[in-house]
Amino acid sequence: MADGAEPGTVRSGTPDGGGPRAAGNAPEEVPPPPGPAPQNPWRNHFLALLDRLPLPIAVCRADGGVLIANPAMAAEWGVAPGRLSGRNLLDLFRPRDTAQLDRLTEALRLGRRSRYPVAVGWRGTDGVTRQGELSLDPVGDPSARPPALLALLKVRESVPPPAPRGRVSPVEGRILALAAGGATTAAIGSALGLTVDGVNYHLSRLARRWRVQGRTALVARAYVLGVLEPGSWPPRAA
């Protein structure tokens, strides 16, 4: 070399030697070593939003296998959200019309992307049979065949079963009807040919059976159990 330095040696004052860098001699930037790509912040935002939504939502494969579910959806299964991964929506939600699933399958095969409602029924964690609708939307890469599905569950309000009808004897029914009309114990006994003690015996027996205290609560319970006809006056046994 012109200055007498041996080839391959590092000279002081050069970039390799740690000294001041000469203008125009800065080395090219070396790219960082390969590593895992940073996580998409939008995905984190979506998952956080999903967790806060009160509507039961899940993302699943076309065959119903759950990929992601929010806490509201997991609550319908009675498990933590992470326990739903790999489960199938059809394990819990039973389609009321299988033809709706057939139409969805055909639409996905043809590449159509619309919202497909499927009426479903299932038994809740409280043992009560519930009804609702799964709204299924193809999502993700349009070129993916078949696409993933966004499932939104709309729960219909459960109609409580009718209260069990109370069973009373004809005499008890007439006693309750007269009591509901405001008759005294003596008046009830006079109307039915019973003693005061006899009327009290029947009233006490009904109160123990229905687990209520006081004549007012007893009459109210009789209406709830269908023993007395609602909307009729004077009151009468059903």
**Least trusted range by pLDDT, from 34-48, 65-79, 153-167, 189-203:** 34-48
Angle at 59 between CA 57 and CA 63, to 5 degrees: 120
Residue by residue, DSSP assigns 91-123 as GTPEES-HHHHHHHHHHHHTT----EEEEEEEE
Residue from 91, 89, 49 nearest 71 by CA: 49
Residue 183 per-residue DSSP state? -
**Least trusted range by pLDDT, from 3-12, 110-119, 168-177:** 3-12
232 - beta bridge partners? none
Average pLDDT over residues 71-89: 85
Q: Is omega for the bond preceding 146 within 30 degrees of 0, making it cis? A: yes
Give tens-digit pLDDT for 13-51.
Answer: 444 444 444 444 544 554 555 544 455 666 677 677 778
| pLDDT over 60 at 66, yes or no | yes
